[in-house]
A and B are shown apart, each in its own frame.
Chain A
């Protein structure tokens, strides 16, 4: 289903066996170490293991097709940008779907990924429990950024690339998300102060 893309079947223009071997070595070196990271990020973005794996396959195929056009970009940043493009294309092909589908769709949602109504904070809960509750209660756009940076270990630039947004937006969402978590912790008496930052 690649009819939306420019035809790039000429990945392999005339190459000597040596060039081909060199390109293969470079591709393997650049891409294989990042597969696990790609799957982790895809899980954050799709919240569904089956879709995450499909998204990574699509990203890898795209990486293979466009490998010669990465122009010296950091492999990770480049791959995450490709993943964003792949995801955008897939969504476009699938067409819009109602938000509620996410709840009704097949396959389990990993903990803390699907939106959950905010549970009340109960005194005596541990710091980690309150953080979990607060994370689950965050709007998706905030939770994704927290997961990408804190759990998936991406830099701001990488998170921005994988979401197709500016670093400034990533920063601002991260700040708001953490502030909300902090406010809930303060309500549970687990951190001092009002968390007005």
Chain B
């Protein structure tokens, strides 16, 4: 694999979006290449810094789960009316 080829799939590789064979070839290249190796490390660090999953408001999650359950409840009661709120 050349630097150019590795560069083309680097982001997908870091995101786990390449197939196994490609991932292996990229990994080998990154290990050997003095240019692409540090490049990949920099992007990996960026990704790590971005992965701070913000948890949504638990009350809102519960309200929405209740809403979904309510849809089913509605069905059980045999009514056809929509419950869709108006924006």
Contacts and interface: CB of A to CB of B under 8 A. Distances in A.
A188 interface: no
29 contacts: A1-B84, A12-B75, A24-B75, A24-B76, A27-B71, A32-B65, A35-B64, A39-B56, A39-B60, A43-B54, A57-B64, A57-B84, A60-B64, A60-B67, A61-B71, A61-B84, A65-B82, A90-B87, A127-B45, A151-B51, A151-B54, A152-B53, A171-B11, A178-B43, A178-B46, A178-B47, A191-B42, A193-B42, A197-B10
Nearest to B71: A64
**Chain A contact residues, majority secondary structure:** helix
B31 interface: no
Interface of A: 1-2, 9, 11-12, 20, 24, 27-28, 31-32, 35-36, 38-40, 43, 49, 51-54, 56-58, 60-61, 64-65, 90, 93-94, 110, 127-128, 131, 135, 146, 149-153, 155-156, 171, 174-175, 178, 181-182, 185, 191-193, 195, 197
A64 B43 CA distance: 40
A35 B63 CA distance: 10
Contacts of B46: 131, 178, 181-182, 185
**Chain B contact residues, majority secondary structure:** helix
B1 interface: no
Given A20-B76, A58-B87, A31 B49 contact: no
A189 to B, nearest CB: 12
Interface string B20-45: 00000000000000000011001101
B42 A28 contact: no
A149 to B, nearest CB: 6
Contacts of B72: 24, 27-28, 64
Q: How large is the interface on B (under 10, 10 to 19, 20 to 34, 35 or more residues)?
A: 35 or more
Contacts of A152: 53
Nearest to B73: A24
Contacts of B56: 36, 39-40, 43, 52
**Residue among B11, B38, B85, B86 with the highest chain A CB neighbour number at 10 A:** B11
A110 B54 contact: yes
A146 B75 contact: no
Given A39-B60, A43-B56, A53-B64, A171 B84 contact: no
Contacts of A192: 38, 42
Contact of A39 (B7, B53, B64): B64
Nearest to A129: B49
Contacts of B67: 57, 60
Contact of B17 (A36, A39, A155, A191): A155
Contacts of A156: 12, 15, 17
